[in-house]
């Protein structure tokens, strides 16, 4: 047998005319018109048409064509032919058709049908939903985001770390902890790498980052909360102020969004997403002013209250009118921030910030309290038992440099960048109060 090239739908071009090829994929659509049969074969890259005129095709191939169920996996051996009607300008005339895996009938949901499928149905049968190129495009973009983050942080002297996800105490408040049995002890799923990345600041690994799962038992159903998300955390020592941290995040998010615009044109087109590089430097809004701004828009927030979903959205609208997609909110009351944040002495505020993107928080961070006594005092003020955090506090007693850092939700970034209606669209198998399967 002469050499036959294994091809993808993408690699076939009219220049292949008359050569023998093998293409494999899912049978997206089959039409048997009596004298001729058509098969639209889909793979990761696109679609190629297989055309079988009865007169010039082996009877066994015609037979398989006639009984082929949609979404079966097939391998087609045949001759490429230039064709003006076929997508991509080339079609395949089959000499052999093998069914590698027949799809059962009926399908749990359609892949190409234009009817609107309920999100729950899509997530129940996510493998099928992801056969749609636009559903997959989100994850190709997410993968690019992660690669771009890696590159930016490594270029800036950061070391990638992995901290435990099975932990003995939480850092972000008890309400959202998942508890589990750990041999004869109680353990929790990590809400964030906070305590560990801070401990590393006392080691000489003075710039670290982690991209990994974080778990939060979020009691409410929203389009921006899930119980398992990918957190991008960074921590850096010897900072002069939180500005050093903000500069790093700003540089990174700009590199990521710019990189996606450059590298993911095809995916953005599939999604109909119009991504633009946010205006930089990102404007800074003091928390107090943010409260005033949303109250001017009709809210009735008291000072000290969380902006909440509604407040963030309204602030996003005001900022959008000024052409700003990314902006900082800082000077939060220390009361509203976790124990590890540094207080701004003589004021009720803290050295902390949020980064909001188109009306939604995507990151929180700030300067940390690195002074042992002050840290213990802050824990006590928050009703925490310092004894439960001994392993962490010890790292502050023997030489801890000033430091600061951030946590940024990867799926929130992807959601806002692509204007996805729900964070779940950026998660392959989302987890929430109701969903634990698939």
Name the site residues for Mg ion (rule: CB under 5 A). 364
H helix or E strand, kind and range, residue 253: helix 242-263
| 361 is annotated as an active-site residue | yes
By C-beta, is 83 or 176 nearer to ligand ATP?
176
Mind giving me the DSSP string for 62-111? HHHHHHPPTT-EEEEEEEEEE-SSSGGGEEEEEEEEEEEEPPPSS-SS-S
By C-beta, is 86 or 291 nearer to Mg ion?
291
Rg (CA), the chain: 27
| 169 is annotated as an active-site residue | no
Q: How far is the CB of 341 from Mg ion (least distance, A)?
A: 11
Report the partner that residue 232 touches, choosing among ligand ATP, Mg ion, none (CB closer than 5 to 8 A by kind): none
Count CB-CB contacts under 10 A for residue 393: 17
| 31 is annotated as an active-site residue | no
By C-beta, is 25 or 338 nearer to Mg ion?
338
| 118 is annotated as an active-site residue | no
Does residue 89 have a cis bond before it (omega within 30 degrees)?
no
First-to-last CA distance in the chain? 44
What is the rounded distance in angstroms from the CA atom of residue 376 to the CA atom of residue 387? 10
The sheet with strand 166-167 has its strands ordered as 166-167, 185-189, 179-182
Determine which one of 42, 122, 412, 424 is catalytic. 412
Q: Is residue 409 part of the contact set for ligand ATP (CB under 6 A)?
A: yes
Report the partner that residue 408 touches, choosing among ligand ATP, Mg ion, none (CB closer than 5 to 8 A by kind): ligand ATP
| 412 is annotated as an active-site residue | yes
Contact in structure between 196 and 171 (CB atoms under 8 Å): no
By C-beta, is 26 or 406 nearer to ligand ATP?
406
Where does 264-408 have alpha helices with state H?
A: 265-271, 287-296, 308-321, 372-381, 390-393
Query: For residue 205, what are the CA distances in angstroms to 209, 288, 391, 401?
Result: 10, 36, 18, 11
Q: Is residue 408 part of the contact set for ligand ATP (CB under 6 A)?
A: yes
Query: For residue 108, what are the CA distances in angstroms to 3, 266, 424?
Result: 39, 28, 20
| 225 is annotated as an active-site residue | yes
Q: How far is the CB of 310 from ligand ATP (least distance, A)?
A: 12
Q: How far is the CB of 146 from Mg ion (least distance, A)?
A: 21
Q: How far is the CB of 126 from ligand ATP (least distance, A)?
A: 18
Going by C-alpha positions, the residue among 191, 167, 196 that lies closest to residue 177 is: 191
Q: Is residue 246 part of the contact set for ligand ATP (CB under 6 A)?
A: no
Residue whose beta carbon is closest to ligand ATP: 409
Determine which one of 7, 42, 131, 216 is catalytic. 216
Query: Any long-range contacts for 117-122 (C-beta under 8 Å, 24+ apart)?
Result: 119/422, 119/424
Q: Is residue 218 part of the contact set for ligand ATP (CB under 6 A)?
A: yes
Determine which one of 42, 131, 224, 403 is catalytic. 224
Q: Is residue 412 part of the contact set for ligand ATP (CB under 6 A)?
A: yes
Q: How far is the CB of 17 from ligand ATP (least distance, A)?
A: 50
x/- binding map, residues 307-326, to ligand ATP, per CB under 6 A? --------------------
What is the rounded distance in angstroms from the CA atom of residue 170 to the CA atom of residue 382? 13
Considering only 43-51, 77-85, 162-170, 360-368, which stretch makes contact with ligand ATP by CB under 6 A?
Answer: 360-368
x/- binding map, residues 163-202, to ligand ATP, per CB under 6 A? ---------x------------------------------
Residue from the set 129, 330, 361, 425 that interacts with ligand ATP by CB under 6 A: 361
Catalytic residues: 216, 218, 224-225, 361, 364, 412
Residue ranges binding ligand ATP (CB under 6 A): 172, 216, 218, 225-226, 229, 231, 361-364, 407-409, 411-412, 423
């Amino acid at each position: 047998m002469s050499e036959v090239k294994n091809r993808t739908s993408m690699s076939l071009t009219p220049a292949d005319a008359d050569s023998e090829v093998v293409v494999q994929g899912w049978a997206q659509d089959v039409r048997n018109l009596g004298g001729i049969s058509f098969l639209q074969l889909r793979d990761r890259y696109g679609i190629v048409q297989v055309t079988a005129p009865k007169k010039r095709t082996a009877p066994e191939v015609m037979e398989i064509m006639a009984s082929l169920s949609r979404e079966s996996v097939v391998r087609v051996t045949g001759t490429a032919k230039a064709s003006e009607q076929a997508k991509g300008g080339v079609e395949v005339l089959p000499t052999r058709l093998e069914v590698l895996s027949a799809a059962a009938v009926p399908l749990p949901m359609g892949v190409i049908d234009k009817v609107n499928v309920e999100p729950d149905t899509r997530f129940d049968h996510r493998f099928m939903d992801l056969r749609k190129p636009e559903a997959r495009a989100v994850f190709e973009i997410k993968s690019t985001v992660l690669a771009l983050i890696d590159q930016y942080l490594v270029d800036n002297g950061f070391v990638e770390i992995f901290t435990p996800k099975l932990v003995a105490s939480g850092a972000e408040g008890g309400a959202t902890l998942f508890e589990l049995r750990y041999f004869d002890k109680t353990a929790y799923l990590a809400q964030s790498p906070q305590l560990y990345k801070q401990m590393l600041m006392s080691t000489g690994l003075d710039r670290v980052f982690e991209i990994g799962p974080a778990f939060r038992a979020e009691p409410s159903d929203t389009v921006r909360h899930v119980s398992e998300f990918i957190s991008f955390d960074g921590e850096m020592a010897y900072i002069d102020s939180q500005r050093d941290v903000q500069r790093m995040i700003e540089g990174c998010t700009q590199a990521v969004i710019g990189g996606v615009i450059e590298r993911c044109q095809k995916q953005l087109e599939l999604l109909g997403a119009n991504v633009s590089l946010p205006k930089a430097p990102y404007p800074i809004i003091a928390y107090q002013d943010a409260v005033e701004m949303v109250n001017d828009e009709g809210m009735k927030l008291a000072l000290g209250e969380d902006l909440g979903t509604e407040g963030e959205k309204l602030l996003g609208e005001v900022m959008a009118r000024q052409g700003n997609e990314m902006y900082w909110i800082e000077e939060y009351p220390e009361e509203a921030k976790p124990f590890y944040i540094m207080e701004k002495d003589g004021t009720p505020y803290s050295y902390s910030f949020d980064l909001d993107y188109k009306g939604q928080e995507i990151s929180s961070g700030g300067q940390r309290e690195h002074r042992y006594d002050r840290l213990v005092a802050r824990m006590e003020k928050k009703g925490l038992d310092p004894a439960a955090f001994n392993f962490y506090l010890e790292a502050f007693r023997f030489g801890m440099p000033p430091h600061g850092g951030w946590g940024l939700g990867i799926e929130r970034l992807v959601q806002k960048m692509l204007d996805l209606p729900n964070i779940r669209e950026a998660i392959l198998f989302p987890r929430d109060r109701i969903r634990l399967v698939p």
